[in-house]
Amino acid sequence: MFNIFKKTWQSMERTRELWLERVGGIFSRSLIDDDLWDDLEEVLIAGDVGVNTSMKLIEGVKARVQTERVREGARIQALLGEEMISILKLKHEDEPFTSLKDGPAVVLVVGVNGTGKTTSIAKLAYSFKGQGKRVVLAAADTFRAAAIDQLKHWGDRLDIEVIASQPGGDPGAVVFDALEAARRRKADVLIADTAGRIQTRFNLMEELKKIRRVISRAGVDPVVLLVLDANTGQNGLSQARYFAEAIGVDGVILAKLDSTSRGGIVLSIVDQLKIPILFIGTGQEPDDLAPFNADEFVESLLSR
């Protein structure tokens, strides 16, 4: 558990430096006035929390400051952290991998090209394998030969079987074949890579819907994970909304959190779309994937 927290802490370094540099000055003031709230709003928005979520946080903190008659900046900062945690802990949030005991569970991983999707799949597969699970990968991004090769490379590196076709093949057929193979091998998890050509949104979403239908007809309800690049900030929120509306999303893998100062997007995604963040990318190695924990995230954000 300590190691997971350490990874979260390290991945939040750039965001933490930006926030604490500015938040520290705000909460060290002796006067709680409109300027304090205006400056706090500016810091939150600069950290990619988003306007709506920033205002929700500030109103929540304001209300508690008035009720509790708070006068100390340190207490206001603590209240801000508590309000953040209340947003990040979705009341309806359930464990998305409950079907693992029946196997094979199917994890359909979606996201636009360039987000770190294939690498995130490899990290997820490595994590499952470390739990003693047998994993099969499906290379269903058949429109890019490089995507198939990349997944095969990770499969070789991690000693995990990859089911693939020739470039240009039917993605639905690849997933169907992979599911049959996973069943024959008594695998616990099948993780399917998919295309991410966001510039052709209609075709992409129709393709993803078809893949989902193929899985459902095989008697499995897939877990859909969306990979977002933390560097994209509020554009990531737009991507999440589009995928959620088109095919439904059960959770988010926030990739490349270690390389950005825009970690506030986590709050915006959960607040605006009610989709839980399940994992965060904390580096480039296979074990650099940490389960998301709201308390640890906020502590990593607001503590020195």
More confident residue, 184 or 36: 184
Residue 233 is assigned to a structural domain of this protein: yes
- Between CA 197 and CA 194 the distance in angstroms is 10
Q: Which residue has the tokens 């390389």?
A: 259
Q: Which residue has the tokens 């991945």?
A: 11
Q: Are strands 223-229 and 251-255 parallel, antiparallel or unpaired?
A: parallel
Residue 27 is assigned to a structural domain of this protein: no
State which H helix or E strand residue 77 sits in. Answer: helix 73-88
Cross-strand partners of 136? 161, 190
Contact between 140 and 113 (Cβ < 8 Å): no
Looking at the chain, the whole-number percentage of residues with pLDDT higher than 70 is: 85
Residue 222 belongs to what domain range?
98-249
Residue 145 is assigned to a structural domain of this protein: yes
**The amino acid at 158:** L
What CA dihedral angle connects 58, 64, 70 and 73, to 10 degrees?
A: -30
Total number of domains in the chain:
1
State which H helix or E strand residue 88 sits in. Answer: helix 73-88
For residue 109, give the CATH number of its domain.
3.40.50.300
pLDDT in tens, 42-93: 888 887 888 999 999 999 999 999 998 888 888 888 999 999 999 998 865 5
pLDDT in tens, 232-252: 877 888 888 888 888 899 999
Tell me what pLDDT residue 135 has: 96
Residue 188 is assigned to a structural domain of this protein: yes
Max avg pLDDT among 250-254, 278-282, 292-296: 250-254
Tell me what pLDDT residue 1 has: 40
Mean pLDDT of the chain: 85
State which H helix or E strand residue 281 sits in. Answer: strand 277-281
Residue 232 is assigned to a structural domain of this protein: yes
Residue 169 is assigned to a structural domain of this protein: yes
Contact between 302 and 293 (Cβ < 8 Å): no
Residue 185 is assigned to a structural domain of this protein: yes
Largest CA distance in the chain: 68
Residue 56 is assigned to a structural domain of this protein: no
What is the phi/psi pair of residue 291, to 5°? Answer: -60, 140
In three-state secondary structure terms, 261 is coil
